[in-house]
């Protein structure tokens, strides 16, 4: 598995783990089983139950083929429709907790899913998927040809990224900042402060919190007006988000 860094629309870099070859093959296998099950239900139950088999005998071969293809259309468009409806997932991908995402940080569009679906002709239908396998293994972002063409990748969401993993903070619309000079910090500074702050709080490392507070005051030129270190650092992070998001 490889690491994939996505720059979000808030200009925040988030690291994801790409789905492994095994996960993708297993998800694909589950989807194949679902499509086969659908075909079996159509031919063994629907056709026989409603006597469509006998009805087809009155038509020529090409008409029979056209009618059968019509009933099987959902299997042809299965991955395209489900990925578009389930935000980059088929049933197989959902069970394996993997999904399709854009590598530029934007939401994948229907056109992106169409591109991925179209290139399945080359990736998975030709040579029984050998081409897709070779591309995924040899590509640094584990992309098949369809992913490269669409600018997408398949990632694992087993360890879903939350706001705690980024420099983002939840702030209300009527938020009032207290430390304007936090703009002296960089995104990397804010990330390090937040990661250190979270770790120190969990381990109750008061010495590290005091050192962190002193360093922030030194870099930003601020002086804490809060009664405790926790409140000061938390305010610094929220102020940083407020000013950088409204600049």
Contacts with 101 (C-beta within 8 Å, 6 or more apart), sequence order: 6, 16, 88, 108, 152, 153, 154, 155
How high is the pLDDT of residue 32? 96
**Percent of residues, the chain, with pLDDT higher than 90:** 34
Q: Say what the pLDDT of residue 106 is.
A: 65
The answer, yes or no, to whether residue 181 has pLDDT greater than 60, is yes
Decide if 156 contacts 94 (C-beta within 8 A): no
| pLDDT of amino acid 161 | 46
Q: From the centroid of its chain, how far is CA 22?
A: 18
Q: How many whole angstroms separate alpha carbon 125 and alpha carbon 129?
A: 6
Rounded-to-5 percentages of helix, strand, coil across the chain: 65, 10, 30
Instruction: Give the model confidence (pLDDT) of 25-48 as tens digits.
Output: 999 999 999 999 999 888 887 777
At 198, the pLDDT band (50, 70, 90 cuts) reads confident
pLDDT tens digit string along 70-80?
889 999 999 99
**Does residue 236 carry a pLDDT above 60?**
yes
Domain layout of the chain by residue ranges:
3-156, 165-245
Q: Report the SS3 class of residue 165.
A: helix
User: Is 206's pLDDT higher than 50?
Assistant: yes
> Per-residue pLDDT for 190 more than 70?
yes
pTM, entire model: 0.62
Give me the pLDDT at residue 53, please.
67
Token representation of residue 131: 């081409």
pLDDT range class, residue 10, cuts 50, 70, 90: very low
Mean pLDDT over 171-175 rounds to 75
**Reported confidence tier of residue 67, pLDDT bands at 50, 70, 90:** confident
17 three-class SS: strand
Flag whether pLDDT at 165 surpasses 60: no
> What are φ and ψ of residue 100, in 5° steps?
-90, 130
């Amino acid at each position: 598995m490889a690491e994939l860094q996505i720059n979000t629309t808030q200009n925040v870099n988030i690291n994801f783990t790409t789905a492994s070859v095994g996960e993708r093959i297993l998800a694909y296998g589950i989807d194949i089983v679902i499509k086969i099950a659908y075909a079996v239900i159509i031919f063994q139950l629907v056709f026989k139950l409603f006597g469509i088999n006998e009805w087809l005998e009155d038509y020529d071969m090409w008409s029979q083929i056209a009618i059968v293809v019509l009933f099987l259309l959902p299997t042809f468009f299965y991955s395209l429709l489900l990925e578009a409806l389930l935000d980059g997932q088929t049933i197989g991908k959902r069970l394996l907790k993997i999904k399709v995402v854009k590598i530029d940080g934007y939401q994948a569009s229907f056109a992106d899913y169409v591109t991925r679906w179209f290139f399945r002709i080359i990736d998975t239908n030709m040579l029984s998927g050998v081409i897709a396998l070779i591309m995924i293994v040899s590509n640094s972002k584990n992309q098949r040809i369809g992913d490269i063409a669409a600018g997408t990748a398949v990632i694992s969401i087993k360890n879903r990224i939350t706001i705690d993993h980024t420099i983002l903070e939840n702030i209300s619309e009527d938020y009032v900042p207290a430390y304007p000079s936090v703009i002296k910090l960089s995104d990397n500074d804010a990330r390090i402060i937040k990661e250190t702050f979270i770790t120190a709080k969990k381990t109750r490392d008061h010495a590290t919190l005091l050192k962190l507070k002193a360093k922030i005051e030194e870099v930003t030129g601020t002086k804490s007006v809060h009664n405790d270190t926790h409140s000061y650092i938390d305010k610094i992070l929220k102020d940083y988000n407020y000013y950088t998001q409204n600049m």
